[in-house]
Amino acid sequence: MISVGLGYDSHRLVKGRALVLGGVKIPFEKGLSGHSDADVLLHAVIDALLGGGGAGDIGTFYPDSDPRWKGADSLRLLEDTRKRLLRRFSIENVDVTLLAEAPRIGPYKNRMRAKIARALHIPVGRVNVKAKTNEGMGFVGRREGLAALAVCALKSKGFPKR
C-alpha cells in the first residue's frame, strides 16, 4: 500500500539570522525566524513524512517549547523522522516547493536534493526541489516570509493490527 503525505510550513524573514533552506546555507540579507534553524523546506518535508505515516506533525515530536530543539539543525530532525518511520514504511519520493520572491535557489537546488536524499537514505533521483514566486501577493509577495509545500509517497511494510 502507498500512503501520501502533504506538508506545509512558513517562517517570517528577519535580519540577523542565517538563511538555511534544504540544509544549505544561502547567502541572503535575512534569515528565517524560528526555534530551530527554521529551515522551511525541511520542515515541510518532515510534516509530509509524518502525515503520510499517520504519525502527527512536526510539533508533536519537535515542539518549539522544548529547549532541546533550540537552534537545532533541521537535517537532524529529518533523519530522526526517517528513523521513526523506518519500521513501517519505505520512502518512495519527496517533492518540495519553496514559495519565495527572493532569494533565487536555482544554484543550490542540487545540493539541497543531495542533502535531503542523504538524510532519508533514498536516491537523489527520488527528491525534487523547486521554487515559485507568489506574484507579489500575500506575506510571501511582500517579502515578509517564506513558505514551503511538500508531498511524499511512502510504501507500507504492513500496518500494525489495531
Q: Domain 2-156 has what CATH class?
A: alpha beta
Q: What is the mean predicted confidence (pLDDT) over 126-133?
A: 98
**Given this model, what pLDDT does residue 71 score?**
84
- pLDDT tops 90 at residue 67: no
**Given this model, what pLDDT does residue 150 score?**
98
Instruction: Report if pTM > 0.85.
Output: yes
Answer whether the bond into residue 123 is a cis peptide, omega within 30°.
Answer: no
Interatomic CA distance for residues 43 and 55, integer angstroms? 15
Cell numbers 546555507 label which residue? 25
- pLDDT tops 90 at residue 79: yes
- pLDDT tops 80 at residue 158: no
- pLDDT tops 90 at residue 8: yes
- pLDDT tops 70 at residue 159: no
- pLDDT tops 60 at residue 162: no
**Percent with pLDDT over 70 in the chain:** 97
Spatial contact of 37 and 19, defined as CB atoms under 8 Å apart: no
Interatomic CA distance for residues 42 and 137, integer angstroms? 23
Domain ranges of the chain: 2-156
Q: How confident is the model at residue 160 (pLDDT cuts 50, 70, 90)?
A: low
